[in-house]
């Protein structure tokens, strides 16, 4: 058995029972950011070691709980790239790679039953690798640019979802600062999450 084989199942949050309407929606788009920021799709094999090292840093072990070895990450990243549910990205600032982000189809995710999901909804998970950037408040600068690009690229997307752990006060503060609607705390299989939605318009706030 290889390192990648040991990672299975690699996408535990992806729903297997979905409607044809949800299944027909394509994979999330790649955000386009103006300099000094840059967004690129992950290379599963070339980037797995770097992402693994990031996720083993104490602040991301606490926030993500994904302190896995490179082999696990190769399988997990490869599985995202092989399907239409989620896409993994690396964000850079002035040429320095600083963050790992996942953009996923919320209607295909385990959060979907927790609110009135729409097939074109997107969700975002973000991990800022360098604590120096975290302490400089890079998330409130970077994430609004990502959100604006996603809404521009996806005219049918009505809202962008966030689901931080309920204890993650930093992530929750960013969601609230960005103007997200709070949809309550929900018990999931392995954690309790705080669910937020950033609507395109006030009418797009989900129930």
Cβ–Cβ under 8 Å, residues 132 and 171: no
What residues contact residue 60 under an 8 Å CB cut-off, 6+ apart?
A: 54, 66, 67, 127, 129
| Residue 71: count of CB within 10 angstroms of its CB | 17
Structural contact between residues 179 and 173, judged by C-beta atoms closer than 8 angstroms: no
Q: What are phi and psi of 95, to 5 degrees?
A: 85, -5
* Active-site hit among 163, 165, 187, 204: 163
Strands 96-105 and 192-199: unpaired
Rg (CA), the chain: 16
Check whether the bond before 36 is cis (ω within 30° of 0): yes
103 φ, ψ (degrees, to nearest 5): -115, 125
Q: What are phi and psi of 165, to 5 degrees?
A: -55, 145
CB atoms under 10 Å from CB of 193, counted, come to: 21
Q: How many CB atoms lie within 10 A of CB 135?
A: 9
To the query of whether residue 163 is one of the catalytic residues in this protein, the response is yes
Catalytic residues: 163
């Amino acid at each position: 058995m290889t390192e990648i084989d040991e990672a299975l199942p690699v996408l535990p949050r992806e729903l297997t029972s979905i409607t044809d309407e949800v299944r027909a929606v394509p994979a999330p788009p790649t955000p386009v950011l103006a300099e000094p920021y840059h967004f690129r799709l992950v290379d599963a094999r070339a980037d797995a070691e770097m992402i693994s090292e990031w996720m083993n840093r104490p602040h991301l072990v606490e926030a993500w709980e994904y302190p896995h070895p490179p082999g696990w990450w190769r399988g997990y990243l490869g599985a995202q790239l092989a399907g239409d549910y989620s896409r993994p990205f690396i964000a850079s600032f002035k040429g320095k790679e600083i963050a790992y982000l996942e953009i996923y189809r919320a209607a295909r995710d385990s959060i979907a039953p927790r609110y009135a999901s729409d097939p074109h909804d997107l969700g975002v998970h973000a991990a800022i690798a360098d604590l120096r950037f975290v302490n400089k408040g890079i998330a409130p600068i970077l994430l609004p640019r990502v959100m604006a690009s996603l809404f521009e690229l996806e005219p049918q997307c009505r809202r962008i979802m966030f689901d931080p752990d309920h204890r993650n006060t930093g992530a929750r503060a960013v969601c609230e600062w960005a103007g997200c609607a709070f949809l309550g705390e929900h018990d999931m299989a392995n954690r309790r999450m705080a669910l937020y939605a950033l609507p395109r318009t006030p009418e797009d706030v989900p129930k």
